[in-house]
Amino acid sequence: MRGNRFFVPRRKLTKYLLNPNHEAGRAKARFLLSKGFSPKDPATLEQALIQHAREAAVCQIRPGAEGKGYLVSYLGPLHTPTGPVPRFMSGYIEEGEATFVTAYPAGTRDRCHEATGA
């Protein structure tokens, strides 16, 4: 299962993933900023996340909240301004269009399991 269209809300990038002051997102922001992404140019991260979802392996498919759509996790390289990050995870809610939920550098314990679901 892979969405035909991927949507990454700009606010999710500027207020969370690229915000080193965000309580829950600061570690992700430090990582992404160190890879050359910038809050002044969120479109570069947006395009990298969309490319990641199109090219990475589908790792897990679970039913979405309240039975709406599916939460799909992807594992694969993220292309950054400073070079590729070989192991990166992202998640999207897929219900027609795939809407970005989260992303983070994959640890050694993050592995693709056989994708299950519809």
Q: By the 8 A CB rule, do 71 and 61 touch?
A: yes
| 39-57: pLDDT as tens digits | 999 999 999 999 999 999 9
* Residue 1 to residue 94: CA distance in whole angstroms: 9
CA distances from 52 to 69, 81, 103 (A): 20, 14, 10
Number of other CB atoms surrounding residue 56 within 10 Å: 21
Mean pLDDT of 10-34: 95
How would residue 118 be classed by pLDDT, with cut points 50, 70 and 90? very low
Q: Is the pLDDT of residue 3 over 70?
A: no
| 66-80: pLDDT as tens digits | 778 899 999 999 999
For position 115, what pLDDT does the model report? Answer: 43
Q: Is the pLDDT of residue 117 over 90?
A: no
Comparing 107 with 63, the larger pLDDT belongs to: 63
pTM for the model: 0.87
φ/ψ (deg, to 5) at 3: -60, 145
- State the DSSP H helix or E strand holding residue 69, giving kind and residue range, or none if neither: none
